[in-house]
């Protein structure tokens, strides 16, 4: 059972290297670019400052993952500075991407705790230090692989306590969630989903709500609307979208869409386009 491939195919991440080298001073991120960020501290020490949180200081190689647009600062002292590789992250589907939304605001892990990333991180650091043709493009792809490996780590270590990723890490819920992700057009009932997880209907519903934070029906609706939003952004006709995400007609999709977002698909698309253009 592959818990990530459908998610990454539909709502995957594109990385863009924007800093490589020694930082002396302050680097400020205001969240205005509507992107997440990943910072790899290669050497030296860095202070991370986020609004409403105590500052954190890191003095060993560390991964700092900010999956959604968020104000933060990296501060390095003048003595020696800090060697950093940094990339911005854009998840398909916009800021409401269900994969990014399922992650905490901040994930910080010493690289020593991530042995499965050791070869990849070494490759990334070596690529950053060299001057090969295609260096920037190679580093972008390597950062994307770092994100995928990090998601694997979070699943394998059951590191998240609630949300979609916590559900996928749960041995009893994962199979039914993967089914929903792979077959959004199917008219899923709680009984069917419970059967996929080899649980009674009542036990499944209670456990699902406890782990994922939504009822199964709410989750199916959320997933379908997330897919519909992605397809609307891509300019797909609403009649085709309705069939693809499990609604018998465009009007049925519009009703579900309004229930979830407060807008009909056409108004949501206009608002989303305006926001993307900075209007």
Task: Quick: pLDDT tens for 47-69.
Answer: 999 999 999 999 999 999 999 99
> Quick one: tokens of 209?
């709500």
Residues of the domain holding 56: 5-156
Q: What is the mean pLDDT of residues 237-260?
A: 94
Residue labelled with tokens 């077959």 = 183
Q: Which of 156, 184, 209 is the last residue of a domain?
A: 156
E runs forming strands in 82-170:
82-91, 107-110
pTM: 0.91
Per DSSP, the three-state class of 72 is strand
**pLDDT of 279 higher than 60:** no
Q: Which of 156, 176, 191 is the last residue of a domain?
A: 156
Whether 149 and 200 share a structural domain: no
Whether 42 and 102 share a structural domain: yes
**Cβ proximity of 4 and 152 under 8 Å:** yes
Whether 148 and 183 share a structural domain: no
Q: Which of 156, 180, 214 is the last residue of a domain?
A: 156
| Structural domains in the chain (count) | 2
Whether 130 and 80 share a structural domain: yes
Whole-number pLDDT of residue 249 = 94
Concatenating the DSSP letter of every residue in 7-52 gives HHHHH-EEEEEEEEEEE-EEEEE-STT--EEEEEEEEE-EEEE-TT
Whether 142 and 172 share a structural domain: no
**Cβ proximity of 197 and 175 under 8 Å:** yes
**Cβ proximity of 111 and 121 under 8 Å:** yes
- Poorest-confidence range of 2-16, 86-100, 247-261? 86-100
């Amino acid at each position: 059972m592959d818990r990530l491939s459908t998610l990454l195919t539909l709502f995957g991440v594109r990385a863009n290297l924007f800093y490589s080298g020694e930082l002396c001073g302050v680097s400020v991120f205001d969240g205005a670019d509507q992107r997440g960020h990943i910072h790899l501290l290669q050497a030296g020490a860095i202070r991370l400052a986020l609004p409403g949180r105590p500052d954190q200081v890191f003095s060993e190689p560390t991964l700092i993952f900010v999956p959604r647009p968020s104000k933060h600062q990296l501060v390095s002292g003048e003595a020696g500075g800090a060697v950093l590789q940094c990339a911005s992250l854009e998840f398909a589907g916009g800021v409401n991407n269900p994969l990014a939304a399922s992650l905490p605001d901040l994930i910080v892990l010493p690289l020593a705790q991530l042995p499965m990333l050791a070869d990849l991180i070494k490759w990334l650091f070596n690529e950053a230090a060299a001057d090969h043709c295609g260096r920037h493009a190679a580093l972008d792809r390597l950062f994307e692989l770092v994100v995928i490996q990090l998601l694997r780590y979070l699943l394998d270590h059951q590191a998240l306590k609630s949300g979609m990723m916590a559900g996928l890490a749960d041995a009893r819920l994962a199979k039914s969630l993967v089914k929903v992700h792979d077959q959004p057009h199917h008219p899923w009932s709680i009984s069917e989903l419970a059967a996929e997880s080899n649980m009674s209907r009542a036990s499944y519903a209670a456990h699902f709500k406890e782990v994922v934070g939504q009822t199964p029906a709410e989750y199916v609706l959320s997933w379908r609307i997330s897919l519909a939003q992605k397809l609307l952004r891509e300019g797909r006709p609403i009649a085709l979208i309705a069939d693809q995400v499990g609604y018998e007609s465009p009007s049925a999709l519009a009703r579900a869409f309004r229930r979830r977002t407060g807008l009909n698909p056409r108004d949501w698309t206009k608002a989303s386009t305006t926001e993307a253009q900075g209007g």
